[in-house]
A and B are shown apart, each in its own frame.
Chain A
C-alpha cells in the first residue's frame, strides 16, 4: 500500500540552525510531534542560536503548541537562543506569540505582515 504524504514539512534552511515549517500540522500525539521536531531538537546542541520560521504553517493544533514549547524548554536547557518567525495574516500565529512569550520571556518571536 502506498504511504500517504504528510501534510507538513520540517526543512533545514541553507544557513545552519535555520528551520522552515510548512503545511498543516495537526498531528495526533506528542510522540508524532517529537518525531517531526527531532531534527530541530538535535540541532540545539550544535548551535548557540536557531530560528524556526512558522509563517507557512496553515494550522498548528494544541498538541503542536505543546510540542513547540517542549522545543523551547530543550533550548533553554542547552542555553540556545530561539527566534520564531510568524505571519500576522495567520490568526493562530499572532495568538501563539502572546502564549509563548508569556511563558518564555527570553523568546524572540517576530510576526511580519
Chain B
C-alpha cells in the first residue's frame, strides 16, 4: 500500500471524535451547471453548524466563507465532474476543521503543492500579496491571511486514469470562527 503524500501543514484531526459534524457528498457537475449551488451548500453547512457557537451570525458568515472557497476550488479543479466530492465541517471544541475530498489532476496537485508549501513556511500576507500581483487564485491564501487558518492537503495514490484523490483541510480556531 502506498501512503498518502502530505502537502503543506496538513492539520491532523484531534484524537477524540468531533463534538459536532456534517458531511455532504456532491457531484461537481451539478455545481458547474448551477454555480449558485456552491453558495447554497456553504450556507446550509454553516447554518447546521452554528448551534455550536455563541456568536451565531458571525460563525455563520465565517464558516460559509471558508466552505464556499473550498467548494468553488474543488468544482473548478475536479478532473471528473461526475465523480463525487465530499465536504465536511467538524467542530472539535477549540478548533474547527473544514475539508473537501475530490479527484484532481497531477497538474492541479503540483500547483496546490507550491501554494501550500508557501503558506506553511511564509507569512500568509506575503503569499496573498504575491498571488494578487501574479493574478493567481486567492481563495486559500485569503483563508490563511484573514482567518489565521492552517491549510494543508493529503494526496492519495493515483487511481484509474491517473486521477488523484486530494483531501484539502482547513483548520481554524473556534475563537476565530466567532471573531472573539
Interface positions of A (Cβ within 8 A of B): 7, 24, 26-28, 58-59, 61-63, 65-66, 69, 89-92, 95, 98-99, 102-103
Contacts and interface: CB of A to CB of B under 8 A. Distances in A.
A110 to B, nearest CB: 19
**Range of interface residues on chain B?**
20 to 34
Interface stretch (B4-12, B56-64, B92-100, B109-117): B56-64
Interface string B60-85: 01101100110010000000000000
Contacts of B125: 102
B107 interface: no
List the 3 shortest-distance A-B pairs measured between CB atoms, nearest first.
A95-B146, A62-B139, A62-B138
Given A26-B36, A61-B72, A61-B139, A99 B64 contact: no
A24 B132 contact: no
Given A62-B69, A91-B58, 9 more contacts: A7-B36, A26-B72, A59-B61, A61-B139, A62-B72, A62-B142, A66-B138, A92-B61, A99-B146
A59 B128 CA distance: 19
Nearest to B62: A91
Interface of B: 35-36, 38-39, 57-58, 61-62, 64-65, 68-69, 72, 125, 128-129, 132, 135, 137-139, 142, 145-147, 179
Contacts of B36: 7, 26
> Which of A7, A69, A92 has the most chain B CB within a 10 Å cutoff?
A92
Nearest to B69: A62
B39 A59 contact: yes
A24 B39 contact: yes
Given A61-B72, A66-B132, A26 B38 contact: yes
Given A62-B142, A99-B145, A28 B35 contact: yes
A24 B60 CA distance: 14
B61 A90 contact: yes
A26 B62 contact: no
> Which of A65, A90, A91, A98 has the most chain B CB within a 10 Å cutoff?
A91
